[in-house]
Structure 1
């Protein structure tokens, strides 16, 4: 019968394939999570160093707690994910024998992480200064080049289960993990993991008394593993020192005490700054200490028998001894020592190792548990060669435990289905290397109490609440050793699959510019994300993307303007699908251009001029349309020009009308090919010269501006002083007009849309409109003859919010400017959608009006402009039209405005008798989707309206 021992919990791999689980337990004890005597430190929450240190209002620093802790109190240093406290802490307050002070970094719950101290500068991370009855446990200590923990002038100190990880920065020859100075006594350094990089693992200085170093692991110390100098009553017991670059364990300076049950393992190394003495003896007891020191039951792992020994195993009283036999024969020490081993592993001894059950159980400082907290146990497969019949400790810091093997276990009888879901598990499949019997405990993972049974008995369970659960089985042998493994997860699904959700908006910058063809789709995490197997998002343009299960923001660039329906398809673990759809309106944003002389060409009668992308500056990202200014001259006959996309069928529309002996101008929006090409067709029987300049681009692939149509309002009329100028403007003179910062146009507007005109003209001429503050940015306004009233719509970039109107005529004229709209970085602005040019109104044929009839004098025609020809049925704020009045019989003007609003006193097209005239018009649309065309002339006229595109806003889809 083996001696009972406490269980030690260890997580193991999922039970899917056959495998073996072995190794010692790594259970970490947890301190009392709270009491009246507990002070809390947690700098990851709302904390204060001037408070009471309660759990709800903890200290921010460890030092704050150290400054006020009282006897009997525990300082709990809390940690989330290896939380680090970068401070050098000094404790000067003491406990009593009956009420010690405890500092602990143990996690509140099992499986958590220890808190860590990281020293600042060269000071130790923790200094215990002139204190007594203090315990420090479960802390990580980061090496910064100085000491980790320093005990100075103190007594009754326990340093237990500290971890000194390998440092990120090493300073050769500096730093000791634990230092005990010569004024200290009754200090125990136990069960600590000390990583390589330190000069010494544990160092005890001259004058100390009753210091115990037990069950520690020290790896690759540079100057010594455990070094004791001039210390009386030293106990160095059951430590493991791996690959020291100097002596592993040494006692000198007149020290007295015991060296028992230790393991020091050597390696072959070259001498260097970081490894100064790779051939030093594994154990050293100096001449002035030898008479007061007893050494036995130690292990010198210095190479296999018959092989080359890298170094002497002992130096006793200043004499070297290459083997344990040589030491024993010469001094009588080490009667039960072992050598002839190779071992550099930090795992438990291999089964049947000479280290197992061979230690002195009565050695001073010997603990009942190993460095991992596992009990010292009897291995039934190994003959007992130690000193006690009741306790069989292994040599070194790590105890060999029973090995529990798991073969393939039974998967749950049902792994998925609707809740309530009934499933069962078998409890078998474990064996013990020591031949022990097992009990099985199954935890179904839903919060219910575990079910315990004998091997082979099936355990049935009903999952009543929907969820994804991972059942586990814990196997416990007769000695109390436990191992836990997980089964395949079980899914108890909801009655209906989780709903899908999807929305999308255009990408915007912080200052309000928009990339109108670049969508950002938002996919929230499903309510029951555990139930989802996979998700995919199709964008409606032939492309798709697979998504993870968490909340997602998915960007996507569309190839062209248009309405796209994106679909999220969500498939759950049972194969059920749900979908969500969002419509994204990919559109264009306006890129204001400084108008330049782009090209001047003569087009033959009925000829076509092809303009390349470079010519119209439409060769940048995602350009779908160009806004062009066209000026005609030297016409040989009357006619019109039609602008259209190269490679497409020429539409039955016109962009500008012209006559011999007169210059004409207009602006037109034209769709471009993917390579930017535009065709201009001359519908006249004679040649005409054209001058083309680009005033703006519409792009779905650039961050640019949106459009805000205004309720038309007059900004300038020199006839009555509107705009601050009264009286005709002399020929060759200019007026400056404020266009931004007034009438709802913000000062940050990037471009303005105006109808500009001249009346009471005394001689023929034209109007030039320029950006104030930028002499190179100007467009041509209307041309007129003597006595003619003429107008034109223009788009002009802004610098300081002002524009300059210059009368180029030789004689005076009154100047007029009406606000139509503006462009700028506004999130609520409208985006452009170009269409294939189409004539939506022709009163001569009845198209669009429903009857063949001219628009009478002072009459109004309603025209529906939404829901057809590519224009959306909702969300439209303005339409881009070219309005033409062909060969009117009288003089007058048209007003185009939003239906349902008051008619403004502005001009959209001015016409004179017998002269066909066309003018671009960005017209605000009424809430009913209609615009009104009012004939302010004294005679009836025909009207053509050609649609070029629309401006619209769309809610997130």
Structure 2
């Protein structure tokens, strides 16, 4: 047996023998730093974990180390990014967008306020992949790779090259990206060598897709150049840009120009170039001489021996991707299965990640029977599919029908659907599928069909899925949730616990549907009672992610009610979530929105209808008081329901207030707001009007003053239809702007063209008794209130607030200081 020498002892053993302390071992840095600006937990001071990501890309860029990756979540980052750190050979710094170029709208967008480029200056070993940016500026860089990006300059922007490489740069790679609406594609300046420009789609750019000046040893391969405007130059090699490789490209209506100083060692071959103008403009300029066709160029120079000058049709269904058509009975000439030898360093996959695919209907004309395609894309499939995505008008507001409609000479063996929301479906006999989305949005629906011979075809259609604008149907208040009932259907809520509230079935189990299929949103009166901690209730559609908004704020032992208007989930449910402690919940359904409801909304300038303090006659317990609404405050005689803000003040005891149609029996289901001595408690009420246009006001408190303000009404003569939105935070002044006495702040974010918005207002950090008033920007401030706040309490109130044409409204604070949160739940727009 071989005996090991003592020199083989581990460091731990040596330290133990001689009594020396072990050296400290530095923690290995994390492999990935995360950026997610929409995450409320983000922080630019680190640590960049999934739980606490950076808020901006720049913050991560200023801390990233060689070998680390900065992973950026989807979203828009309004910043002008400068990369100031370098990687190391074999250990680059990588910036990676979380989306996919095939799903362009998922790419994180970097669009700073100055519309500056993403700048990398003097750095090396950097990879930047998977972003939507306006352009890149690379100066004095080495071993920098730009891949899988969407480089697009918006209308009205200052046009600049998509990628501008300057200074003493070398070994820059620009590959597998889409370049659109730029003033030139990739521009490489003097003295720069070893550039690779491969697999890119240059579409609707101006000037040259690739322009080189005194930039030798450049590889230009597998690019597609489509719809070049102005000079219509695909590749322009000026000065001494010698020893270049120009192969396997597809150029539409373009010119290739190689200067006299650039011809030495340059190879031009296996390109498909559609001439720019029916023989009037030469297709090639080589060494200062113009050549009309590839055969002319070959005869004179030996270049372009396998080039083809033919027309290529692009797939109109894939606008934004320059994909050649492969339709039944017709195939583009000189593109499919005809690429020449690959050059070193070129990606083995196309712009969308497809490897070389042998098209079953095209002979392989590449070297040695090769079947990679020219240009940026591999064309797959031998048939055409007429993909159609049609919104339904049936029972589910966000349902669509997807029809494949294949036109094929062979049998389809598989239909594979990607609905663009993270869900898929597939099967051999599914030419039509139905899908229900959880929330509105722009979705990329992709269908991949495969026939019996193994040929595949991928088709894409973008579809905007949204709620249908709807009218309102009021119902008699119906209790659907009361967790206080022993053995009831719904339990008391603990910390972080939720209830999936079924809106279609009555809690009593009686026959009939409460909220019908097809309803887009529901109006609830939600009460928190017997809470054990400071907390809040959140309400949101089922199947949707939990938002950062809230609906009811309450403290221990408080009874707090608030009106809630919320979109309905695809299964007819909404989620009620408690944040902390334990609490019982009570919910009454007051109405719902459907496309067929006849009553539409009309916003009015907020007006006060009643203030019982003015004549010192408060409501007394058990005695209702009638209030005439129609004919007052802009509400006409034909109105069927009114939107009121009711505030209880100077209450003599705890109790509740109920508002119901004038001349009718008080409903058995609950109340609209709760009273408490010493507090001003508001709540918005949507209430049907009695036959004479009045409402009844009732309290069971010993006595209470009431203040009633009107904000709008429903009726068959109205024009406003309601569109719900996933609960969205418009304003959170905490850490930004404190509302001081008599201060006003404008709130934006409601879609333009809206007439009114449904907003939940919350006051927090209040230093003195005050009230908030909300009204349309640009109009006089009304003498009304929307929310009454008290020191030490978080108070919320639902409000329907008028907005200006740009979707803006103002909020004013009356006294003391407070912080304000505004959450949007929907809006009205006249139809």
| TM value normalised by structure 2 | 0.42
Q: Greater Rg, structure 1 or structure 2?
A: 1
TM-score, structure 1 normalization: 0.36
